[in-house]
Structure 1
Amino acid sequence: MARKLDEKDIDLLKKLAPECNDLECSSSGVNFKSILPPVANHFSKDISDFSHRLESLSEKELEYLLDLIKDGKESLGCLRPDYVMAFQEIVASRAGEEHAGEIIKIYTANDVCE
């Protein structure tokens, strides 16, 4: 589901990617509509860097992100499968296997990049 990032989303995006100065996707020219895809696709050097960035999330921030994903407001469709697996591993270790399983179900059910 395409959305406009609110202030809380932007703060979270900038925490995960402090080098993010512009909320516009350089390849499409459209404003970012999610948090994880720009972190993975524009700012992380590799999966290890992506995971390291995600590990900086507080429990509350991770819970917020998981809620956005479950509500269909945060897109996973633009993430490569290996990045989703890295995210899923962090979710499993910090929020539990049940939440991690939900992430995979959501990812495999919705392969649309918005």
Structure 2
Amino acid sequence: MARILSERDVTILKRSAPECLGLVCAGSGGPYRSILPPLANHYATDAEDFRKRLERLNDDDLRYLVGLILDGSESLGCVPPEHIEVFLTFVDDRLGRDAALAILQYYEREDGCAR
């Protein structure tokens, strides 16, 4: 589901990618509609960098992201599989296995790309 990023979304994106100056996807020319796809595809240099960027988020931000994913607001469709693995491990470590499994189930059902 495409959405307009909220102030909180922008804060989370800029906390994890401080070099983010704009909110427009370089590939599509459209505005970002999610947090994790641009983080994975435009700012993180690889899966390890993606993990380091996730570490900048506090548990409240992470719970918020998980909630967005599970309600269909946050797209995972364009996040590379190796980054999804990192994200799932990160969620498992910080919020528990149930949250990670719920995201995995959602990811396996989701298709499409909403940056």
| TM bracket (short chain) | over 0.9
| Cα displacement string for residues 21-80 of structure 1 (whole angstroms, at most 9, x for unaligned residues) | 010001110000000000000000100000010011111110111111111100011111
Give the number of aligned pairs.
Answer: 114
Secondary structure of 2:87 counterpart: helix
Secondary structure of 2:25 counterpart: coil
Question: Which ranges of structure 2 fall in alignment gaps of 5 or more residues?
Answer: none
In structure 2, the residue matched to 1:69 is 69
The within-5 A match list for 1:1-114 is 1-114=1-114
Kindly indicate whether structure 1 or structure 2 has the higher relative contact order, using CA contacts under 8 Å at least 6 residues apart: 2
Among all aligned residue pairs of Structure 1 and Structure 2, give the percentage whose two residues are the same amino acid.
46
Letter in 2 for 1:40: A
Runs of 4+ in 1 over 2 A off after TM superposition: none
* Deviation (angstroms), 1:111: 2.0
Give the alignment's TM-score, normalised by structure 2: 0.97
CA–CA distance in 2 between the matches of 1:104 and 1:87? 10
Question: Which ranges of structure 1 fall in alignment gaps of 5 or more residues?
Answer: none
CA–CA distance in 1 between the matches of 2:76 and 2:3? 13
Give the alignment's TM-score, normalised by structure 1: 0.98
Letter in 2 for 1:47: A
